[in-house]
Structure 1
Amino acid sequence: MKTKLLILSLFLVSISSCYIPKQKPDNFDEFWQSSIKELGKEVNSSIIKDSIIGEKRITLRSIESYENTTIYAWVAEPLNSGKYPVFIRFSGFGRGNKSKNSIPDKWFLNQKNQISIKVDIRGQGLSTKQIKFKGYLTNGLENKDKYIYKGAFLDAVKAVDFAKTIPNRDGNIVVTGGSQGGALAVAASALNSNVTMCIANFPFLTDIFNYDKTKWPMKIWIHETKIKERKLEELHETLSYFDALNFADKIDVPVFLRTQEIDTITPKEGAIKLFKTIRSNNKNLYIAPCSGHGCSSKSVLANKMEQVFINENLIKNQ
């Protein structure tokens, strides 16, 4: 055991001292423009389940996404006639509801005066029938075109395309989520011009190169790189196409960003870099004085600030 630990330690030292990785690839924009073309704009969706709960009609929808993968969304629409803002919530890492008979995140779906869409991307919830969650972080890691997050980010783009097809939307499409959901919100805002506001909470995959190499998730990526006998340069090259920092200069809609003082998964230093890099001048950052990934979700002040920000930045008279 000590021998294995020594070998891994030597590997980490050797790969971490060889070079300084390039933050953003030269062909980053071209890569994602090409990927969006592969995805296409057509929206194919079907209703799987339909019910009335309280003052909302709630449907479970299947949506066809990148490479013929089906993703799923719970859609809650007010029963009263009128036009409403659309809020899309993306799930965190490994989360999702695998049952058609149990409605997830009712607190979100039951929000009044809005159309709420809870999305499970590939490898989450019902879509695990096609893509298993096991090994998610390293699925296709050897190639940026095959890496799981290429499809995941394109799923987020497709979810926005789907939201645009809802007849009683008022023009607002707000994307939101925490951790992995925050990263998906960032990617969707950068890659889909139909997004009108971004609420990104402690977004995962931010400032990846400065992640602690001895902790999750970087240690998982490095371990996979080692056993596949690949170079750190190749790992960094792949991950650079999915770092939230590299999407930031494409975001020109209002952004509310929160994180926490101490967090190894979304270090505040990375969140600050992201905030500064976001193109939009209409943005707000709050760092909660707490320790632990996602602890800012419990911040009463952060929640109030977020709601005020949303109210102030919804597009009126749509």
Structure 2
Amino acid sequence: MSFVAKRIAELENYSAPQTSQEDLGEFWEETLKTAAARPLNDRREAQESLSDHMEVYKVTYEGYDDTPIHGWYVLPKFGLPEGGKGLPCVVMYHGYHGSKGNPEQYAAWLLMGYAVFAIDVRGQSGDTGNLLAQHHGKTSGWMTQGLLHPKGSYYQAITVDAIRAVEWAAAQPEVDASRITVMGGSQGGGLALITGALSDIPSQVVADIPNMCHMDYGIYHSQGSLIEAASFVSRQPERLEEVLRTLSYFDMINLVRRLTVPTFVSVSLKDPICMPETIFAFYNRLDAPKQMQIYPFNGHATSGDHLRKQVTFMRKNDQQ
């Protein structure tokens, strides 16, 4: 057996204990109930496009709070499918430090026959601000805002924002609400997983090199966003248990049983940000229909014909 084969076999047998709090279910029931009672206060405005083959709309809506979340809603000008059904839609979440980018970057998905709704994660590098109240100091970055308690934390806010994005997409007249895929990479992959677990709208999940998995391992090892939490605890070591408790509410290793739709996951074995142990800890517990794409020599990235693999998976499940 080669070293790579041995490494994969070890990961396929990797197991990590869950860190669920007793009130995990109650916390999410209250969070989702509160979110559902808030109006989206959405706006959809047509924009000019560089392509004659796409329709572009600038969208704002309200998710967790009064912060206007900005997104691109992009449609192909090829007409809707026959039979009166709308288009399948991909709701996209970007990686940490990123943004929704520009509408033209989603052209490949339009050619595949999908509508796209891509949003900014609040406070990061896009058009979306952050009105979330801050009751304690934080380290550099965004994710340590509210890190001492799950209620009112940055993770709670961005999760609700992500769930409300799916609700917005499902309400659009061009979209087939029964065929909505949540998708993203890294931070976006984590948001896709947790949205698929907590919302009954997505029909499938595509999560590339996702974070928000086995986060107690991640805070110790990761060189990505969780290094901000590690820095927070380094300066205030007496806060460790509070921080770990907060992270546990957003850890997919604890929410894995709620994810029941087909799920495509990618993992890179040399990834220093979303380490393979964190992803396998979640994936090995997942009972839903699933597929994993392993990249043995990649860091924090996919490569090759990855788009083809994603679309093949999505179409296969759409036809079932």
Given the two structures, how large is their TM-score scaled by the length of structure 2?
0.82
Shift in Å at residue 25 of structure 1? 1.2
Deviations 1:21-56 (A, max 9, x none): 961112112111111111115432102442353222
Q: Please state whether the residue corresponding to 1:66 is helix, strand or coil.
A: coil
- Contact kept, 8 Å, 1:48 with 1:60, in 2: the verdict is yes
Shift in Å at residue 250 of structure 1? 0.4
Shift in Å at residue 215 of structure 1? 4.7
Distance 1:188 1:206, change over 3 A: same
Deviations 1:100-153 (A, max 9, x none): xx5463445643421111111211311136579963021111221122010001
Q: How far, CA to CA, are the matches of 1:108 and 1:245 in structure 2?
A: 32
Q: Structure 1 regions of 5+ residues with no counterpart?
A: 1-19
One-letter amino acid of the structure 2 residue matched with residue 50 of structure 1: Q
One-letter amino acid of the structure 2 residue matched with residue 34 of structure 1: E
- Contact kept, 8 Å, 2:197 with 2:258, in 1: the verdict is yes
One-letter amino acid of the structure 1 residue matched with residue 220 of structure 2: K
Shift in Å at residue 97 of structure 1? 5.1
Q: How far, CA to CA, are the matches of 1:134 and 1:237 in structure 2?
A: 21
Shift in Å at residue 262 of structure 1? 1.5
> Do structure 1's residue 193 and structure 2's residue 200 form an aligned pair?
yes
Given the two structures, how large is their TM-score scaled by the length of structure 1?
0.83
Distance 1:303 1:29, change over 3 A: same
One-letter amino acid of the structure 1 residue matched with residue 153 of structure 2: Y
Segment of structure 1 superposing worse, 305-314 or 227-236: 227-236
What are the equivalent positions in structure 2 for 1:169-208 lying under 5 Å apart?
169-170=175-176, 171-208=178-215
What are the equivalent positions in structure 2 for 1:84-95 lying under 5 Å apart?
84-95=87-98
Shift in Å at residue 314 of structure 1? 1.2
Output the aligned Cα RMSD: 2.5
Deviations 1:187-208 (A, max 9, x none): 1101110110100101112111
> Do structure 1's residue 272 and structure 2's residue 280 form an aligned pair?
yes
> Do structure 1's residue 253 and structure 2's residue 261 form an aligned pair?
yes
Higher share of residues assigned helix? 1
Q: How far, CA to CA, are the matches of 2:109 and 2:203 in structure 1?
A: 20
2:310 to 294, 306, 312: 306
> Do structure 1's residue 65 and structure 2's residue 63 form an aligned pair?
yes
Q: Structure 2 regions of 5+ residues with no counterpart?
A: 1-15
- Contact kept, 8 Å, 2:72 with 2:100, in 1: the verdict is no
Q: Between Structure 1 and Structure 2, how many residues are aligned?
A: 290
Q: How far, CA to CA, are the matches of 1:84 and 1:107 in structure 2?
A: 15
Deviations 1:54-105 (A, max 9, x none): 222110100111121211110112331342101111111010158xxx5463
Q: Please state whether the residue corresponding to 1:231 is helix, strand or coil.
A: helix
What are the equivalent positions in structure 2 for 1:26-65 lying under 5 Å apart?
26-40=22-36, 42-52=39-49, 53-65=51-63
